C-alpha cells in the first residue's frame, strides 16, 4: 500500500509538471507562425533522438543496481553520472554535425536546442533520490525546477525576440540538471568515480543502450519524416497533438519508477511474491492507461480548440486518433521495467528495433495515402506489434506474463 501511495504522489507531481510543460508549449505555439513552430519541433525531435547518447537506459540499471547493493549506492550513481555526461557531450557534437550537414538546419538552432542532450544527464541524479526512498525531497525539488523553467519559458515567449526562442526547448532539462546536481553534490560529497563500477554498469546496459536509440527514434522519427514528406506546418499540428499525448504518458514514468523499485527489491528466488508484485503493477498499468486514454479522447480536442481555434485544426483530429497510444506506451513502459529486472536486454533491443523499423516503413507507406494521419496509424500498429504481440511471441517473456494470469 505504501508503494501505491508513493507512486501516486510522484505521479501527481509528474502530472502537474507535464500539464505546466504542455501549457507553456501551447503558449509558445500560439505566439509563433505554424511553419516556424514546425521547424523548431523538427529540430527538437532530432535532438531527442540523439539523447540516446546520454544513456538514459543507464538510469534504470543504476537504480536497480543500487537497490540490490545499497552500500554502493552513492558510488553507482556518481559513476553513472560521469559516464552519461561524457557520452552526452560526444552526442551533442554529433547532433550538430548531422543537423547541419545532413538536414541543413540552422547551426544557431541546433546549438541551443541540442543542449537538451547534455542536460538530460540530470535525470540520473533525480532517480538517485527515489532509490533512497526520498520521495518528498524528489517531489519538492522537481516542482521547484518546473517553476523556474516555467518562469524562464514565459519570459522567452513574451520577449518577442526571435533569437532567444530556441532557449525555450532546453529550460526543462536545464533546471532538472541544475537543481539535482546541486542536491546530489551536497549530500554525496564522499562519492567518487569508479572505473570497475562504470564497466559493470555499461556491461549490464549494453543492449538497453542500443535499445534506447531504437525507442527514441521510434517515438520521434515520424516528425522528421513528416517534415520531409509534407511540410513544417503539418509537423506543427502533429507535434502539438503528440505533446498533449505526452502529458498523459509522462505519468507512466513516475508510476513505473515506484513499482519498479518494489519489484527490484524482491529476490528472483521468491517466485510467487515477485509474480504478485508484477501482477499488481500490470493491473494498475492497464487500469490507469485505459482511463487516461479515454480522458484524452474527450478532453484534449476541446483544449486544443479552446487555445487555437482553427490555427491547428489538424491537431484536433490527430489527438483523438492518437488516444490508443497512451495505453500502448504505458503498457510498453511497464513491460520495459520488467525486462530490466529480469535482465532481458536482448529482447528489449529486438522489440524496439522492430518498433522503429515498423514505424518508418509504415509511415512512408501510409502518409501518401492518409496524409499526416498516416503517421498516427503507423505508430499505433508499430506500438501494438512491439508492446503486445512480441511479448507473447518471445518464449521467456511469454512465460513471465502467462504466469500472471
| Grid cell listed for 208 | 538497453
> What pLDDT is stored for residue 271 in this prediction?
60
Query: Which stretch of 150-159, 348-357, 396-405 has the lowest confidence by average pLDDT?
Result: 396-405
> What pLDDT is stored for residue 344 in this prediction?
65
Read off the pTM: 0.77
Mean pLDDT, range 182-190, rounded to an integer:
56
> What pLDDT is stored for residue 274 in this prediction?
67
- Is residue 96 within 8 Å of residue 43, measured between CB atoms? no
Mean pLDDT, range 126-143, rounded to an integer:
76
Give dist(CA 152, CA 29) in Å, integer: 16
Residue 186 has pLDDT above 50, yes or no: no
Mean pLDDT, range 46-52, rounded to an integer:
90
* Count of the separate structural domains present in the chain: 1
Give dist(CA 362, CA 354) in Å, integer: 12
> What pLDDT is stored for residue 119 in this prediction?
92
Residue 404 has pLDDT above 60, yes or no: no
Three-class SS state of 270:
coil
> What pLDDT is stored for residue 298 in this prediction?
93
Q: Helix 345-370 to helix 323-342 angle, to the nearest 10 degrees?
A: 160
Q: Using only C-alpha atoms, what is the Rg of the chain?
A: 20
Compute the mean pLDDT over every residue in the chain, rounded to the nearest whole number.
81
Measure CA of the first residue to CA of the last residue in the chain; give whole Å.
22
pLDDT tens per residue across span 155-178: 999 888 888 999 999 999 999 888
Residue 20 has pLDDT above 90, yes or no: no
Measured in residues, the chain has a length of 405
Mean pLDDT, range 244-271, rounded to an integer:
65
Residue 26 has pLDDT above 80, yes or no: yes
More confident: 290 or 397: 290
> What pLDDT is stored for residue 313 in this prediction?
86
pLDDT tens per residue across span 202-231: 777 777 777 777 777 877 888 989 988 998
* Most confident region among 73-77, 265-269, 369-373 by mean pLDDT: 369-373
> What pLDDT is stored for residue 139 in this prediction?
79
Mean pLDDT, range 177-190, rounded to an integer:
66
Mean pLDDT, range 250-272, rounded to an integer:
60
Give dist(CA 337, CA 355) in Å, integer: 17
Range of the domain at 29: 2-402
pLDDT tens per residue across span 54-101: 887 777 777 777 776 666 777 788 888 888 899 899 999 999 999 988
Give dist(CA 105, CA 235) in Å, integer: 15
pLDDT tens per residue across span 299-309: 999 988 888 88
Amino acid at each position: 500500500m505504501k508503494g501505491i501511495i508513493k507512486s501516486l504522489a510522484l505521479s501527481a507531481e509528474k502530472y502537474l509538471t507535464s500539464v505546466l510543460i504542455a501549457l507553456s508549449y501551447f503558449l509558445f505555439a500560439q505566439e509563433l507562425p505554424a511553419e516556424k513552430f514546425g521547424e523548431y519541433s523538427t529540430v527538437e525531435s532530432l535532438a531527442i533522438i540523439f539523447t540516446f547518447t546520454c544513456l538514459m537506459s543507464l538510469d534504470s540499471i543504476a537504480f536497480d543496481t543500487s537497490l540490490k547493493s545499497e552500500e554502493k549506492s552513492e558510488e553507482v550513481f556518481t559513476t553513472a553520472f560521469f559516464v552519461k555526461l561524457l557520452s552526452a557531450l560526444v552526442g551533442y557534437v554529433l547532433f550538430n554535425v548531422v543537423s547541419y550537414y545532413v538536414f541543413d538546419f540552422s547551426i544557431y538552432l541546433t546549438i541551443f536546442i541540442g543542449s537538451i542532450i547534455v542536460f538530460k544527464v540530470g535525470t540520473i541524479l533525480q532517480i538517485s533520490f527515489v532509490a533512497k526512498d526520498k520521495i518528498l525531497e524528489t517531489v519538492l525539488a522537481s516542482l521547484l525546477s518546473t517553476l523556474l523553467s516555467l518562469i524562464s519559458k514565459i519570459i522567452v515567449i513574451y520577449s518577442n525576440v526571435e533569437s532567444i526562442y530556441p532557449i525555450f526547448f532546453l529550460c526543462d532539462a536545464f533546471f532538472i540538471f541544475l537543481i539535482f546536481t546541486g542536491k546530489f553534490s551536497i549530500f554525496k560529497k564522499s562519492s567518487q568515480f569508479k572505473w570497475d563500477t562504470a564497466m559493470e554498469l555499461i556491461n549490464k546496459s549494453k543492449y538497453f543502450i542500443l535499445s534506447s536509440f531504437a525507442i527514441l527514434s521510434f517515438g520521434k522519427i515520424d516528425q522528421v519524416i513528416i517534415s520531409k514528406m509534407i511540410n513544417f506546418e503539418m509537423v506543427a499540428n502533429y507535434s502539438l497533438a503528440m505533446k498533449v499525448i505526452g502529458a498523459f504518458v509522462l505519468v507512466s514514468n513516475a508510476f513505473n519508477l515506484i513499482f519498479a523499485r518494489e519489484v527490484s527489491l524482491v529476490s528472483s528466488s521468491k517466485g510467487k511474491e515477485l509474480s504478485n508484485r508484477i501482477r499488481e503493477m500490470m493491473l494498475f498499468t492497464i487500469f490507469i492507461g485505459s482511463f487516461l486514454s479515454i480522458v484524452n479522447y474527450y478532453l484534449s480536442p476541446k483544449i486544443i480548440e479552446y487555445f487555437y481555434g482553427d490555427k491547428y485544426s489538424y491537431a484536433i483530429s490527430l489527438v483523438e486518433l492518437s488516444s490508443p497510444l497512451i495505453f500502448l506506451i504505458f503498457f510498453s513502459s511497464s513491460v520495459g521495467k520488467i525486462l530490466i529486472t529480469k535482465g532481458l536486454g536482448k529482447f528489449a533491443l529486438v522489440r524496439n528495433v522492430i518498433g522503429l523499423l515498423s514505424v518508418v516503413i509504415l509511415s512512408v507507406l501510409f502518409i501518401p495515402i492518409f496524409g499526416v494521419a498516416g503517421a498516427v496509424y503507423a505508430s499505433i500498429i508499430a506500438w501494438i506489434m512491439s508492446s503486445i504481440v512480441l511479448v507473447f511471441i518471445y518464449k521467456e517473456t511469454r512465460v513471465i506474463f502467462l504466469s500472471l494470469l
